[in-house]
Amino acid sequence: MLNSSPWTSRPAHRRWLETQADALFSFYEPHSLDPHGGFFVLDDAGHPREETARELHLTARMAHCAAIGVLLGRPGAQDLLDHAMFSIRKHHHDNDHDGYYTSFTADGPLKRDKLAYGHAFVLLAGASAKVAGHPDAHKLIADVSQILDAKFWESGPGAYAEEFHADWTPFSRYRGQNANMHMTEALMAAFEATGEADYLRKAESVAELILHRHAQSAGWRVPEHYTADWTVDSHYKGDPMFRPYGYTPGHALEWTRLALQLWTLGGERLDWLKTAAISLFAQAVAQGWNTGRGGFYYTLAYDGDPKVRDRLWWPVCEGIGAAHFLAHTAGEPSVELQYRKFWNFAARHFIDAEYGGWRHQLDDELRPIPDLFHGKPDIYHALQACLIPLYRTSGSLTHEIAAQSVP
């Protein structure tokens, strides 16, 4: 039995969330902007690391987060947004073949491949920038949308292909849910920013394939990897960061929030989205949460046992957002206990009170380790964890901030 009102209704908790969001901005703002293009990867203390590659998804995520800063009225956020938008157009865009390079250095494009994952975040960047009133947002949305429709979208399965060479020749038959999940996030944001219903239709199509068909068949765990015909590939072993073997509980939590947002945006027509959200969350917590020391395992084997026992910061961030959406959109007040548990773990183990920012990875003993991530390269997940509980759950974060900003 809960001992009192939900945390998100308490002024002190809301002030704490705002303070944590402010601390994240303060950690990334001073040293992240690379005047030569893109953004530096920061070390544990918030200083630029020596890496020279600027990754598309990080540039675009910074555009999204800077747009949030603009909407919040944060001084300096507009400069970050302008720089991110310029970097996407100037350094990531392929002027010969169209689309967006995966990374660049001071010498020019580094990884010239065209990945659905990165293009999803370009669409999110454009949509968030449009809500924040950026003059280049409409052009960016139009450009990346044309590329997504012409090159990535596959009307048969109703989802997005994964990867191409710079000249748009495909180099694998791999299909992945991770890119399609973030595409769903971006499509909803684009729908809100433009009012164009095709974005919403495509988001519902992707969710139907990944959740209604595959996750439901897998006992409400989200299969990550597929062959070209969208048959689950349980033998695939790819990139341990973006394509790890097995199930990833954090993605089930992320889909929980996105499914409820999609259910709401679609006028609550597709009730299976609400069912999926409740079931995904329950399964992710039951199998993914370590009941002893706490935290979500990074991956599970296909039999449900922990595969990679390390705790990454982003799954608990997604758990926080998922619990908030379940409480306020699906009418599940019992998740309040989960919400508190997730924040207690994050505050104790991930928030770095000494240097700022969030630690990105802990081992099974909950000791910080530099394995998949070196330093603190990303503000995106942690910032949203701090801000999502402060707003309504009827749309994306940028949309809800903008709606509350109207006098």
Question: Among all residues, which ones are annotated catalytic?
Answer: 251, 381
- The two tokens of residue 177 are 């849910």
The predicted structure's pLDDT at residue 405: 78
Between CA 238 and CA 244 the distance in angstroms is 6
Q: List the beta bridge partners of residue 39.
A: 33
175-176 and 108-109 strand pairing: unpaired
The predicted structure's pLDDT at residue 3: 60
Q: List the beta bridge partners of residue 170.
A: 164
Q: List the beta bridge partners of residue 105.
A: 108
pTM of the model: 0.98
Nearest to 100 by CA among 170, 36, 164: 164
Between CA 31 and CA 48 the distance in angstroms is 6
| Per-residue model confidence as pLDDT tens for the chain (407 residues) | 456 899 999 999 999 999 999 999 999 999 999 999 999 999 999 999 998 899 999 999 999 999 999 999 999 999 999 999 999 999 999 999 999 999 999 999 999 999 999 999 999 999 999 999 999 999 999 999 999 999 999 999 999 999 999 999 999 999 999 999 999 999 999 999 999 999 999 999 999 999 999 999 999 999 999 999 999 999 999 899 999 999 999 999 999 999 999 999 999 999 999 999 999 999 999 999 999 999 999 999 999 999 999 999 999 999 999 999 999 998 888 899 999 999 999 999 999 999 999 999 999 999 999 999 999 999 999 999 999 999 999 999 999 999 997 77
The predicted structure's pLDDT at residue 51: 86
Between CA 38 and CA 51 the distance in angstroms is 12
- Give the contacts of 77 (CB within 8 A, at least 6 positions apart): 25, 66, 67, 68, 69, 70
Q: What are phi and psi of 175, to 5 degrees?
A: -130, 140
The domain at 7-405 falls in which architecture? Alpha/alpha barrel (1.50)
Angle at 223 between CA 303 and CA 188, to 5 degrees: 145
CA 122, 124, 125, 127 torsion: positive or negative? Answer: positive
163-164 and 159-160 strand pairing: unpaired
Between CA 325 and CA 254 the distance in angstroms is 11
Per DSSP, the three-state class of 114 is strand
DSSP 223-241: --EE-TT--B-TT----TT
Q: List the beta bridge partners of residue 232.
A: 226
User: Token match 């100037």: residue?
Assistant: 90
Nearest to 257 by CA among 233, 280, 240, 236: 280
The predicted structure's pLDDT at residue 1: 43
Computed over its alpha carbons, how large is the radius of gyration of the chain?
20
Contact predicate 306/300, CB 8 Å = yes
Contact predicate 393/260, CB 8 Å = yes
Contact predicate 327/333, CB 8 Å = yes
3-state SS of 59-94 is HHHHHHHHHHHHHHCCCCHHHHHHHHHHHHHHHHEC
The domain segmentation of the chain, as residue ranges, is: 7-405
Between CA 174 and CA 265 the distance in angstroms is 30
Between CA 240 and CA 243 the distance in angstroms is 6
- The two tokens of residue 309 are 């026992």
DSSP strand E in 260-364: where?
299-300, 306-308, 311-312, 361-362
